[in-house]
Structure 1
Amino acid sequence: MDQLKAVRRNARGALALHVWAALGTCLAPLLPFYLRRRQMRGKEIPARVREKMGFPSLPRPSGSLLWFHAASVGEVLSILPLVQACLRQGPDVTVLVTTGTVTASTIVAQRFAHSRVVHQFVPLDVPHWCQRFLDNWTPQVAVFTESELWPTLLSACHTRDLPVVLVNGRMSASSFQVWRHIPGVARHMLSCFAWVSARSQVDAQRLRTLGATTQTDPGDLKTAAPPLPAQVAEMAHLQALIGARPVFVAASTHAGEEAQIAQAAHLARQTCPTLLTIVVPRHPERGAEVASLLNAAPRRALDALPTAQDAFWVCDTLGELGLFFRLATCVFVGNSLPGCHGGGHNPFEPARLGCAMATGPLIHNFEEAFQALHGCVQHVRDARSMAAWVEQMVTHPKRRAELGQLAQQVATVNEALPDDLAEKILALV
């Protein structure tokens, strides 16, 4: 009876995969219009939009090629130490990094400035677009990151006997419930992986339940990444400009949060009158909008610097969080307050630099990371509680330093993980 049920589940899974592939084929003639619309909204690079249809814009390097796919900025940053470890251990390999977003491609250009690393945008999950991509790049190993499970692309890899692995595998509670309703599809996709490295024990158990039977020991790559970089000369310049002013950094903020942050800063300045609040919107294109909300605050994207009279500075640039975290007295991790979409952002980035941190309650995308940092991160609900926390951090430097040191210890616990995973990846070449 159990065997019959398994056969039926697999049959339903195969049917669902065929339907998905057929849907992609049917929609393919319309998708260029969708990409054109995204291009008009600044979400695609005009000269490179055909990459999303599988057309290469660069020649394939000779020799062995490792393909890493990381959907967006957070995933790109998480694989940085792993890519570096693979390049170090495999001196003859080249790395192809694919992403889905323009902002992620910018981070790749900034952080992977290496002659043996090339970037392309990943093709949409259309059968002949995926085939075109694989025909051109012919990688020896494919490395997917976190929750990037695209049925057609994975099936195309599997059909070619291309070894595929999943690193920092993530399966949220909501995604787990969705996949449990289509177990045949989930089992088929996970069977494509040579092995899975889950982010946490919870993720490992969920992935195992869905069919990932070959797993390595769990470990979060975000706790193995190097500290975010900062230009030494620019840091010295800004430290001299800011002087002894306490600095509150609101990092990776989203629409719906900045008004609350402004109110919190106003309240905190009643106790800390020289407080400078640096607001770093997650999406730099919102810089003008955020600056307007903050009474025409100076914008870094326009090369404007804060004066002694400015309470706010909008830093609407990419790749400079390492600089701002080093300037910070305390840091609020955005996309977490009621009123925004929510989900949180990676708290290990400020933690790795010894920052005292706070977050709002909406942190479901980084639940395990915040659990690991339990006791190091203050949870705030609104502007008033945020202001009280800022005041405490400014006026109690010893407590602030203790929290930062504790967070730093947690955020650097998996330093050996990239080398261990790199060895397993290169063994598949």
Structure 2
Amino acid sequence: MPRSVLLAAYLAWSNRAERYGTRKLQQRLDAGKEDAERLGERRGIPSIDRPDGPLIWFHAASVGESVSLLEMIRRMGEERPDVSFLITSGTITSAEILASRLPPRSFHQYVPLDVRPWVRRFLDHWAPDLIVLAEAEIWPALLHEASLRDIPVALINARMTAAAHRKWRRFARGAARSLLHRIAHVQAQEGETAGRLMSLGLPPERLEVTGTLKEGSKALPHDEAERVALARALQGRPCWLAASTHEGEEAGAAEAHAQARRSWQKLLLVIAPRHPDRGDEIVSGLRLDGWRVAQRSADEPITTETEIYVADTVGEMGLWFRLCPVSFMGGSLVPIGGHNPFEPAALGSAILHGPHVENFADIFARLTNGNATCEVSDWADLGRTLAHVLEPDEAARMAHAAWEVCSSGADVTEKAMDLLFAMLDGVD
């Protein structure tokens, strides 16, 4: 296995980094980014017992990744009732969303920081038979400790941005090479990621390009009684969704809404912010601008007078994609990188987006090639485009085209399942 002086130095520091880790956790706790009642999990202290039998540990870097794993885990559990599944994530929002969706024999813990004593404590307790990392999480202490225990590691749905690649290549190429040799197999989302990983030293025989796992994920769930009640409250009014919005996008969406209302006078805008705890702030700003707003977390109903509905709740995106025939994907007219377009595509909502879709560039390119989405350049352009796409025939055409692109990659999940079962059973 290749050696790296920089990696050795990091591991030596990480072995004595408990004070640093404690200080970092306290800062995050003070900022409201940690769960005080479960803070011990971030130090590798378990809050539940390990189940008997084989255990696969899955870790996802983001909320979207966490959710995309659930359908695959459900299917794996059906095929192998002897296997249990540990799912870790690092944010409060992900924990809240996962809590209501965990498949049988699955449970959630917060992932420990990459501090060697905490990682060792975590691995000593859970003793996973297989570690599965999603996206591009490369943690030195974790990979080193897993290697010492001969625990196989798979990286699935791998995606490495150009910026991350430049950082590793410029400052820690030797360390990256040594760490990548500790990963038994990688399934990459696209060719660019595959090339970047190989340039950092990943052996090509351990790599395959399979596409994005989100293509095989199950459609987001919803409460049918709530959908019926909200549809009744709409009374046939046209509506559109600004999904997973970030700061600055709500005011822009309202600007586009005002323009589209010139053609659709009864039009309702549903805003579902990426971080629901911003709901009060969003509502206050919109009301100051003169909009008649109802807020879901405050149980305010949609009436004939409501112009904007702020859906500041967790775990209800499946409801809004089903209700709204057109969705604008947030994080794309501000430099965030966009969000998963397969979620609206799977539920029949036509997709609009801005130019900042780096996080899902390959997927958006395929949707664009299939005439399944529209890119807008600014908020005024969104308003003009929205007025056109709201026409029922156009919305239905785009939604059907997006669904065809979405459904064409369902074999990605099958490939990931085949790989993980083979690794679990020790099959080369």
Instruction: Work out whether the TM-score is over 0.5.
Output: yes
Residue of structure 1 aligned with 2:161, choices 172, 178, 190: 172
Distance 2:412 2:336 in 1: 29
Contact 2:352 2:376 in 1 (8 A): yes
Contact 2:55 2:129 in 1 (8 A): yes
Distance 2:24 2:173 in 1: 30
Q: Deviations over 1:149-206 (max 9, x none)?
A: 1111111111111010011010111112222222211111211111111111222222
- Percent of aligned positions that are identical: 38
1:326 corresponds to which residue?
322
Residue of structure 1 aligned with 2:27, choices 31, 34, 37: 37
Distance 1:193 1:243 in 2: 55
Contact 1:224 1:413 in 2 (8 A): no
SS in 2 for 1:119: strand
Displacement, 1:294? 1.5
Contact 2:55 2:85 in 1 (8 A): yes
Distance 1:274 1:148 in 2: 46
Displacement, 1:100? 0.7
Residue of structure 2 aligned with 1:84, choices 57, 69, 74: 74
Q: Are 1:22 and 2:12 an aligned pair?
A: yes
Q: Are 1:426 and 2:421 an aligned pair?
A: yes
Contact 2:241 2:328 in 1 (8 A): yes
Q: Are 1:274 and 2:266 an aligned pair?
A: yes
SS in 2 for 1:373: helix
Residues paired across the two proteins, number: 415
Displacement, 1:27? 3.7
Q: Deviations over 1:102-153 (max 9, x none)?
A: 11111211221x3400111111011111111000000000000001111111
Equivalent positions of 1:65-144 (< 5 A) are 65-112=55-102, 114-144=103-133
Q: Are 1:201 and 2:191 an aligned pair?
A: yes
> Which amino acid letter does the alignment assign opposite residue 343 of structure 1?
G
1:53 corresponds to which residue?
43
SS in 2 for 1:30: helix
2:277 corresponds to which residue?
285
Contact 2:194 2:208 in 1 (8 A): no
Distance 1:44 1:321 in 2: 23
Displacement, 1:217? 4.1
Displacement, 1:389? 1.1
Distance 1:159 1:371 in 2: 41
Residue of structure 1 aligned with 2:340, choices 321, 338, 346: 346
Please say which of residues 315-324 and 419-428 is displaced more in the overlay.
Answer: 419-428
Distance 2:195 2:374 in 1: 29
1:4 corresponds to which residue?
none
Superposition CA RMSD, Å:
1.5
> Which amino acid letter does the alignment assign opposite residue 82 of structure 1?
M
Please say which of residues 42-51 and 14-23 is displaced more in the overlay.
Answer: 14-23
> Which amino acid letter does the alignment assign opposite residue 22 of structure 1?
A
Displacement, 1:267? 1.4
Distance 2:407 2:207 in 1: 22
Distance 1:50 1:90 in 2: 31
> Which amino acid letter does the alignment assign opposite residue 154 of structure 1?
L
> Which amino acid letter does the alignment assign opposite residue 113 of structure 2?
L
Displacement, 1:277? 0.2
Residue of structure 2 aligned with 1:383, choices 379, 385, 389: 379
Residue of structure 2 aligned with 1:298, choices 291, 294, 300: 294
Displacement, 1:24? 2.8
Distance 1:110 1:302 in 2: 21
SS in 2 for 1:71: coil
Please say which of residues 383-392 and 16-25 is displaced more in the overlay.
Answer: 16-25
Contact 1:87 1:94 in 2 (8 A): yes
> Which amino acid letter does the alignment assign opposite residue 85 of structure 1?
R
> Which amino acid letter does the alignment assign opposite residue 420 of structure 2?
I
2:304 corresponds to which residue?
308
Distance 1:379 1:282 in 2: 20
Distance 2:308 2:67 in 1: 27
2:354 corresponds to which residue?
360
Displacement, 1:366? 1.4
Please say which of residues 380-389 and 204-213 is displaced more in the overlay.
Answer: 204-213
> Which amino acid letter does the alignment assign opposite residue 365 of structure 1?
N
1:405 corresponds to which residue?
400
Please say which of residues 264-273 and 214-223 is displaced more in the overlay.
Answer: 214-223
2:148 corresponds to which residue?
159
Q: Deviations over 1:323-352 (max 9, x none)?
A: 0001112100001114xx421111111111
Distance 2:117 2:141 in 1: 10
Q: Deviations over 1:379-399 (max 9, x none)?
A: 1122210100111022x2212
Displacement, 1:368? 1.2
- 1:30 and 1:175, CA in 2 relative to 1: closer, same or farther beyond 3 A? closer
Please say which of residues 353-362 and 20-29 is displaced more in the overlay.
Answer: 20-29
1:337 corresponds to which residue?
333
SS in 2 for 1:252: strand
Q: Deviations over 1:15-46 (max 9, x none)?
A: 11122223334442132233223223321111
Distance 1:311 1:193 in 2: 52
Displacement, 1:226? 1.2
1:253 corresponds to which residue?
245
Structure 2 unaligned residues grouped into runs of 5+: none
Distance 1:346 1:162 in 2: 31
